[in-house]
């Protein structure tokens, strides 16, 4: 089934809250990284056991627990027990086909985003890949869950390590904003590449429609649908966060979230613009094909029209009657050929005067 239209049946009949991985099959261990910091101190390490995470449940510092790999439900359930995460949230974390959304659990906020990247596909064309990013934000705590180590958060980690900006002075809500902002910024890199492909495709269409151009138009239209489904719901998520619907996100952070909201709207507008451009390109392609067919039919019609009187004359003198005028005439044959030639030239001149050719 086409990408973005898969319907998962792994959980049919199971009760709500059942932690069963739904998504692309993956292997390898789950990797966990902990960054614990305040304005004056920073500690970054990889825990050797899940029991070490329990100490961060009520830590006075800000703790970022990064979990890479959700294909092992047992590990996700153990983390859920350590931090008293609702079973429905755990279910959504391992069900990796979720659309962007936000759920408020009073002392925690659960946020789902789509991480997007481009990889080289068949024919050297870029293919958009998507994976789920789940964030659990509490007071002084942020837990992120990723399917793979698609790393767009290095700038945020760099600011934490070097104590740049406000990230070390503010709480986990500002850290969550920083991660969301990094995700939205990564969308623009993809849209920029898509825009460059559209320019190349437009030049190809101006040179003449080809079957390859039609395939490229349909591929890009599918990509736009995929991007729209991944980004459009995020606008409502960030809007709710910026309006202060959750007590976890404080007023200073809400100001920055409104800026991310503007960026999200810009990304959505770019997608809609690209969709309109692609629709126009498809119309141009179909019109070019139609015009080319019309030109071919016009040439064939002109040729057939010229040969109609010539065929008529040849048909008359091809009849096998014994008594016909000009049959015994010495100059009959060249006279008929000359008449046919003059008839064809006159018709060509007439067509050119009428600008039919």
The range of the structural domain enclosing residue 57 comes to 31-288
pLDDT in tens, 287-333: 888 888 888 888 888 888 888 888 888 887 777 777 777 777 777 77
User: Tell me, what's the pLDDT at 10?
Assistant: 59
What is the domain count for the chain? 2
Indicate whether 124 and 179 sit together in one domain.
yes
| pLDDT of 268 above 90 | yes
Cβ atoms within 10 Å of 281's Cβ, excluding its own: 22
> How far is 252 from 128, CA to CA, in rounded Å?
34
Q: Which of 258, 288, 318 is the last residue of a domain?
A: 288
Indicate whether 191 and 331 sit together in one domain.
no
Indicate whether 339 and 323 sit together in one domain.
yes
Indicate whether 174 and 231 sit together in one domain.
yes
Cβ atoms of 98 and 132 within 8 Å: the answer is: yes
Tell whether 300 is covered by a domain: yes
Largest Cα–Cα distance in the chain? 121
Indicate whether 90 and 237 sit together in one domain.
yes
Indicate whether 110 and 198 sit together in one domain.
yes
Least confident span in 47-51, 240-244, 316-320, 348-352: 316-320
Higher pLDDT, 182 or 48: 182
Identify the band that residue 4 occupies on the pLDDT scale cut at 50, 70 and 90: low
Range 103-132 average pLDDT: 83
Least confident span in 68-72, 275-279, 334-338: 334-338
Identify the band that residue 105 occupies on the pLDDT scale cut at 50, 70 and 90: confident
Identify the band that residue 355 occupies on the pLDDT scale cut at 50, 70 and 90: confident
User: Tell me, what's the pLDDT at 1?
Assistant: 38
User: Tell me, what's the pLDDT at 349?
Assistant: 85
- CATH number of the domain that 299 lies in? 1.20.58.340
- CATH number of the domain that 264 lies in? 3.30.460.20
Q: Which of 266, 288, 310 is the last residue of a domain?
A: 288
Tell whether 200 is covered by a domain: yes
Tell whether 44 is covered by a domain: yes
Indicate whether 44 and 126 sit together in one domain.
yes
pLDDT in tens, 219-266: 889 999 999 999 999 999 999 988 877 888 888 899 999 999 999 999
Identify the band that residue 112 occupies on the pLDDT scale cut at 50, 70 and 90: very high
Indicate whether 265 and 330 sit together in one domain.
no
Tell whether 117 is covered by a domain: yes
Taking alpha carbons only, the member of 284, 124, 97, 295 closest to residue 193 is: 124
| pLDDT of 9 above 60 | no
Indicate whether 201 and 329 sit together in one domain.
no
Strand, coil or helix: 293: helix
Indicate whether 172 and 299 sit together in one domain.
no
Higher pLDDT, 149 or 125: 149
Tell whether 25 is covered by a domain: no
Tokens of 79: 């983390």
Tell whether 310 is covered by a domain: yes
Q: Which of 259, 288, 317 is the last residue of a domain?
A: 288
User: Tell me, what's the pLDDT at 2?
Assistant: 43
Quote the strand ranges of the chain, DSSP E: 31-37, 42-45, 62-68, 101-104, 109-120, 126-138, 141-146
Tell whether 26 is covered by a domain: no
Indicate whether 312 and 265 sit together in one domain.
no
Percent of the chain with pLDDT over 90: 25
User: Tell me, what's the pLDDT at 100?
Assistant: 92
pLDDT in tens, 143-173: 999 988 887 888 888 888 888 878 888 889 9
How confident is the prediction for the chain on average, in pLDDT? 85
């Amino acid at each position: 089934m086409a990408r973005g239209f898969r319907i998962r049946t792994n959980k049919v009949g199971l009760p709500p809250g059942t932690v069963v991985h739904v998504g692309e099959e993956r292997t390898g261990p789950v990797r966990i990284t902990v960054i614990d910091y305040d304005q004056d101190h920073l500690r970054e390490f990889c825990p050797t056991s899940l029991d070490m995470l329990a100490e961060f449940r009520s830590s006075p510092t800000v703790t970022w627990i990064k979990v890479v790999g959700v294909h092992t439900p047992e590990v996700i359930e153990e983390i859920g027990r350590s931090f008293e995460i609702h079973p429905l949230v755990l279910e959504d974390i391992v069900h990796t086909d979720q659309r962007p959304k936000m759920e408020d659990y009073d002392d925690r906020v659960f946020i789902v985003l789509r991480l997007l990247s481009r990889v080289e596909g068949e024919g050297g064309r870029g293919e958009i890949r998507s994976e789920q990013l789940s964030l659990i934000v509490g007071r002084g705590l942020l837990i992120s869950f990723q399917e793979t180590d698609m790393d767009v958060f290095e700038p945020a980690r760099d600011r934490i390590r070097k104590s740049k900006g406000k990230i070390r002075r503010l709480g986990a809500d500002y850290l969550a904003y920083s991660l969301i902002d990094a995700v939205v910024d990564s969308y623009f890199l993809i849209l920029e590449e898509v825009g460059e492909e559209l320019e190349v495709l437009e030049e190809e269409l101006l040179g003449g429609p080809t079957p390859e151009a039609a395939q490229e138009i349909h591929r890009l239209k599918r990509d736009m649908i995929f991007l729209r489904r991944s980004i459009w719901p995020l606008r409502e998520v960030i809007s709710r966060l910026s309006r202060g619907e959750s007590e976890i996100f404080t007023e200073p952070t809400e100001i920055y979230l409104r800026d991310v909201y503007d960026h999200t709207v810009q990304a959505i507008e770019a997608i809609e613009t690209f969709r309109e451009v692609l629709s126009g390109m498809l119309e141009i392609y179909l019109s070019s094909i139609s015009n080319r067919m019309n030109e071919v039919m016009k040439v064939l019609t002109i040729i057939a029209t010229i040969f109609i009187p010539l065929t008529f004359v040849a048909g008359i003198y091809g009849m096998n009657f014994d008594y016909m005028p000009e049959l015994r005439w010495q100059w009959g044959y060249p006279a008929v050929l000359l008449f046919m030639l003059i008839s064809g030239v006159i018709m060509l001149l007439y067509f050119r005067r009428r600008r039919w050719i």
